[in-house]
A and B are shown apart, each in its own frame.
Chain A
Amino acid sequence: MLKGKGIPIFITFLTGMIMIISFFIPHKPFGDIEKISLTWYSIIAGFTMLLGVDSLIGMHFRKLKRKDENWFFSLVLIIGFTATVVVGIIETVRFGTAFDERSYFTYIYNYFIVPLQSTMFSLLAFFIASAAYRAFRARNFDATLLLITAIIVMLGRVPLGEQISPYLPKFTEWIMQVPQMAAKRGIGLGISLGALGVSIRIILGIERSYLS
């Protein structure tokens, strides 16, 4: 009985209903439930971080043990992970928090994570351009519209656009404020209505795929 899906479905129903009821009763003890729940949610999510890291490190450790192709890079990953955690622990003991400006942990953040992250994302500028070439070839009316809008928005956001025509930045602004917003709002409403439906199905135990 304990191993079945009955208890998890009951827990889902109970927590879901408490969250909904607390929204309509803004008095104690219900009033604080949303805030408390978000804290609890963060705590549980904090533990799941261990599962994720275990999966990542475990996979690379196995690659290293089997001496798979590119095992050296798995070693780099494990050393990078271990060094960061060790430095974080040492600096937490030293300064009370690893995030102190003087700590080597902050040094790792500033000179390793920040450049690697922003370079990785800036690399997409090149790939997005080549993807655009393939995707935007004006094959039909819709693709042409997408292409033209993208070009107008890009030009309207740089000084060159204003040099071409002073109306271009204004037209870009109009695209963003009117047709773009209308479609975005329509898509958002569709997503929200869908999320609402799925949430109700989950609370009522109709949707159970998350337990499989």
Chain B
Amino acid sequence: MGTTIGVWIAAGLTLFIYSFLYKDNPFYKFAEHLYVGITAGYWIIYTWAYVIQPMLIDPMIKNKEFILIIPAFFGIIMLTRWFPQISWLSRWSIAFTVGMGAGLGVTGAIQGFILPQVQATLVPLTGFNFETFNNFLIIFGVLTTLVYFYFSKEQKGVLRWGSKIGITFIMVAFGASFGYTVMARISLLIGRIYFLLSDWLKVLR
């Protein structure tokens, strides 16, 4: 019974959202606002269940990890933004998280992206075959793309040509990404239509 009601609710909300294809209307607005409200509530419970309770409350009560008072303090002073007279305290929390992000950013960018990607670009150019051609295109594409984003010097001469070829590679990448995104959205659309025809209307088995 619960499942049947759930399917009818889900089908109704799906149709409410699709009604936007005709034009903006109260049904769409209802579903949109309901979605935002429910999702906000969901994330509050999620944050409690998967962050605050297991990472802060339980270790402090069960394992006596009182060092966690520090992040709890920074978390609480973040809420001082509600009180204008002491809202300056929230800067300390922001500074703490930004500092942490920046520190992780330095090591993460170098070790996690720059070095592995440079390493993956240093491919062999030996022999006269299709693989060598592909490897050459990869190296050439990476370098020309980087040239396109190099603004420290006026782009003329070699830089101008490098930049022109770079934009060609970038356009191919954007086209491919766009194609991929469209396919992903279409597959979601097929999923929703399948749900309506199969789970709700039982037309498809």
Residue numbers of A with Cβ under 8 A of B are 2-3, 5, 7-9, 11-20, 23, 34, 37, 39-54, 56-57, 70, 73-74, 76-85, 88-89, 92, 97-99, 105, 107-126, 128-129, 132, 142-143, 145-154, 157-158, 174-190, 192-193, 195-196, 198-200, 202-203, 210-211
Do A154 and B182 touch across chains, with their CB atoms under 8 A apart?
Answer: yes
Residue numbers of B with Cβ under 8 A of A are 2, 6-7, 9-11, 13-14, 17-18, 20-21, 29-45, 47-49, 51-52, 55-56, 68, 70-72, 74-76, 78-79, 81-82, 88, 91-107, 109-111, 113-114, 117-118, 120-121, 134, 137-146, 148-149, 166-183, 185-186, 188-189, 191-192, 195
* B32 proximity list for chain A (CB < 8 A): 73, 120
Q: For residue A124, which residue of chain B has the nearest CB?
A: B185
Alpha-carbon gap, A167 to B93, bound state (A): 56
* B75 proximity list for chain A (CB < 8 A): 43-44, 46-48
User: In the complex, how many angstroms separate the beta carbon of B172 from the nearest chain A beta carbon?
Assistant: 5
Do A195 and B109 touch across chains, with their CB atoms under 8 A apart?
Answer: yes
* A44 proximity list for chain B (CB < 8 A): 71, 74-75, 78, 93, 96-97
* A113 proximity list for chain B (CB < 8 A): 35, 38-39, 42
* B141 proximity list for chain A (CB < 8 A): 178-179, 181-183, 185-186
Do B103 and A19 touch across chains, with their CB atoms under 8 A apart?
Answer: yes
Alpha-carbon gap, A113 to B39, bound state (A): 7
* Minimum-distance CB pairs A-B, first 7: A19-B103, A182-B141, A186-B145, A84-B41, A149-B175, A80-B37, A153-B179
With A43-B75, A116-B13, A187-B173 already in contact, the answer to whether A77 and B109 are too (CB < 8 A) is no
